[in-house]
Amino acid sequence: MKFSLKARVLFLLVVLTLIPIALYFYHNSAMRKNILEDRFRLHSIYASSVVSRVELFLERVMSETDSAVYLYRNFGFSEEETIWRITGQVKGVFEGAFYTPEGILMSAVSRESSEPKFEKFMNIDSSKRVLGILYTQYKEPFLRFVVPEVENGVLRGFFLFSLDLSLFWQSVISAKPSPSVDIFLTDSEGNILAFSDMRFSERRKIPLRQGVYLSSVTGTEVVGAHAKSDDGKWVVFIEEPVKAVLKPLYNFQEKALIAGSVFMLSVGTFAIFVFLRIFKPLENLKNYVITWEERNIRVPIEAGDEVGELSQAFENLIKKLQEERRLYLSLFDNTLDGVMVFNSYRRIIDVNRTVLENFHISKEELLGKHMKDLIGEELPFTRLFFPEKRVNLKEQVLCQLRQEILKIEENFYILWRLRDISHEKELKVLLEQTAKLSLAGEIACSIAHQVNNPLASIMGYAESICLNSQDEEAKRKAEVIFKQAQKCAETVRKLLEIGKPFEGKPEYIKPEEVTIEAIKMLSPKAKRKWVKIEFENSLNGERLFSFPWQIEQVLINVIDNAIDASPKEGKVSIKLFKNNGSIFWRIEDEGPGIKDMDKIFKPFYTTKPYGTGLGLSLARRLIRNLGGDVKIRNKPDKGTVVEIHVSEVKNETPNS
């Protein structure tokens, strides 16, 4: 694959722009990861140190309490006096009690309450120094521990003391590593005992986890770590918001974005300068020449860059320009349809010879005329088709007009294809009437004798009631019956007067022409209902050897049903194409669809208020006689699709 010079330069600029962006994201990701990992390690170390301080503090308090109990008891102090002295001496211990070896409360003393709350009977395990965490009436947690009293190897009883957690917790967390760090003390089950802001006993429980997670306490993303005491009774949590941890990274990102923006702006300015000053003029010239050549000469250009393409294009242009001009003029003048070309101001700039010969007018009379002078209006710049349009060419002429839009060298032109249909109008009307008479005669032959006799009896009895009955209500109803029966009899009579259908001879026909004629016949009805008919033809000159009036009659019936089924301002789409040797018509509408699909081809079945129920039945019979078929299905959303296909018949003597 060859790349142009501009493509290579632009690719280099893109790469130069993407490299800093990729490095920025890589560096940002690496820095974020390293910062979070470092902060996690620091929090893990700090959590371990806090746990160690908790254990040392408790060990010191209990050791000091053991020594005081031993001292005061040897001095001969009573249990109450010993407890009172210890609560005043050991910081944080605010109450105590003495139990016998059997767990019977003997005495209790408190410096905060006149009635200490100790159980009268307790089963005390001498192997456990800490009994657990309890809460005061103000929901403040405190630690209760045991000091056994042993004299000459004999257990005399137990001292139970209560330690205020707030005092030792304040001493433990007096120096936090950062104001944004939160520290939590929990028991072994994760129940929070104390917060870093000295709050206590919210009775909340948090899971044991660490790393980066959503905090159960603050509800924000944090970097967290925890550590357990040796006996597993205490857990210290350290949490810090990720935003606070990554604040240095955010500052770096801001500076990097400013620098990157300046760099990208510089690269973009340079790219724009190169494009406008060098590549844009060269690209415009190359595109102009090569586009013209591809549309007119269609010679492949193989070159490595813009200069080589321009050189080869100009060489081909010089060789082919005169030849293409002669071919264009020949095709323009010898086409069967009259052709008019308008500029963007809707004035005629050229006409072909067919217009001059068919409409007996000179070229000088037409050149420079405005579109309004011909049809009395300005048509929009879009593809249009008018089955009938009056054009003022010396005199009013009824024409079939097809408008196409051409874009040549960035300029738009309007092209009209005109066909005089004044003489065809009467023949088409006659053909339509012949088809309808053939259908009506065929129906009349099959039903006349079965309908006439019952109608005669109904009319006779209804007339007799009208003449002889004295009941006015009965006479009025009989008159209605008589009038409706008369309408039926008149319809049968008209059908009987119609002759047999004219079969004619098969001939070569163009399916697109037959389709356009059917659309023309139904265009007034579609306009009255504001239904748009779209026709798409993908045939390439294929012809059918068939009966044209039968094909047209089938199309009229199907398209007429599609218009009736479509809502106001709806659309009927007609597609003509070839597939596997057969010609297909696909007619789609936007109606509500068909409910009883199995009855749709039955004679006299109809969903219209005034329909006969014979159109689709006759259409399928005609198409099957031609070796084809008609198929109907509902669309998934809304509307109906009718497909008609006829095998393409080839004949060795099409002109015979």
Residue-wise pLDDT tens digits, 197-214: 656 555 678 888 888 989
Domain of 487?
425-497
Q: Does the pLDDT at position 196 exceed 50?
A: yes
pLDDT in tens, 469-491: 788 888 888 887 887 777 676 55
- Are residues 103 and 151 both part of a single domain? yes
Domain count, the chain: 4
pLDDT > 70: what percent of the chain?
80
Query: What is the tens place of the pLDDT at every residue in 19-42?
Result: 878 887 888 888 888 888 898 999
Q: Is residue 266 scored above 70 in pLDDT?
A: yes
User: 428 pLDDT band (50/70/90 cuts)?
Assistant: low
140 lies in a domain? Answer: yes
Do both 466 and 579 map to the same domain? no
Does one domain contain both 492 and 584? Answer: no
Please check whether residues 216 and 352 belong to one and the same domain: no
In a domain, 380, yes or no: yes
For residues 536 and 550, membership in a common domain is answered with: yes
Q: What is the tens place of the pLDDT at every residue in 363-384? A: 899 999 999 999 999 999 899 9
Q: In the prediction, which pLDDT does 302 show?
A: 62
Q: Which residues pair with 350 in a beta bridge?
A: 341
Is 476 exposed, middle or buried, given 0-12, 13-18 or 19+ CB atoms closer than 10 A? exposed
Q: What pLDDT does 109 receive?
A: 92
Q: Indicate whether 288 belongs to any domain.
A: no
Residue 652, pLDDT score: 41
Residues 101 and 171 in one domain: yes
Per-residue tokens: 366: 């037409």
The whole-chain average pLDDT of the chain stands at: 80
What dihedral angle (degrees, nearest 10) is formed by the CA atoms of 150, 123, 202, 231?
A: 60
Residues 376 and 446 in one domain: no
246-260, 420-434, 597-611, 622-636, range with the lowest pLDDT: 420-434
What pLDDT score does 348 carry? Answer: 93
Q: Please state, in angstroms and as integers, the Cα–Cα distance from residue 300 to each residue in 49, 285, 305, 324, following that order.
A: 80, 18, 14, 16
Residues 6 or more apart in contact with residue 183 via CB below 8 angstroms: 50, 173, 176, 195, 196, 236, 237, 238, 239
Q: Domain check: are 511 and 440 in the same one?
A: no
Instruction: Residue 173: name the closest of 241, 240, 236, 243 by CA.
Output: 236
Which of 178, 211, 245 is the C-terminal boundary of a domain?
245
Q: Which of 197, 214, 245 is the last residue of a domain?
A: 245
Name 390's Cβ contacts closer than 8 Å, sequence gap at least 6: 375, 396, 397, 398, 399
Asked if residue 451 has pLDDT above 70, the reply is: yes
pLDDT for 65: 92
Give mean pLDDT, residues 357-368.
89
Contact status, residue 417 vs residue 404, Cβ threshold 8 Å: yes
User: Is the residue at 278 inside a domain?
Assistant: no
Domain assignment present for 321: no
Report if residue 277 sits inside a domain. Answer: no
Verify that 414 and 433 share a domain, yes or no. Answer: no
The rounded distance, in Å, linking the Cα atoms of 356 and 626 is 41
Least-confidence region, from 46-60, 75-89, 315-329, 451-465: 315-329
**Residues 632 and 597: beta-carbon distance below 8 Å:** yes
pLDDT of the residue at 404: 93
Asked if residue 431 and residue 413 are part of one domain, the reply reads: no
Q: Please give the pLDDT value at position 176.
A: 72
Could you tell me if residue 482 is inside a domain? yes
Taking the C-alpha atoms of residue 200 and residue 282, their distance in angstroms, rounded to an integer, is 79
> Closest Cα partner for 641 from 594, 579, 577, 598?
594
**Residue 628: which CATH number?**
3.30.565.10
Contacts of residue 44, Cβ cutoff 8 Å, sequence gap at least 6: 210, 225, 227, 238
Q: Domain end: 455, 471, 497, which one? A: 497
Rounded Cα gap, residues 523 and 529, in angstroms: 10
Do residues 97 and 116 make contact, with C-beta atoms less than 8 angstroms apart? yes
> 477: domain CATH number?
1.10.287
Residues 349 and 239 in one domain: no
Q: Are residues 452 and 581 in the same domain?
A: no
pLDDT average, residue stretch 433-457: 63
* 317 assigned to some structural domain: no
Q: Which of 436, 410, 39 is nearest to 248 (CA)?
A: 39
571-579 vs 582-588, strand pairing mode: antiparallel
CATH code at position 342: 3.30.450.20
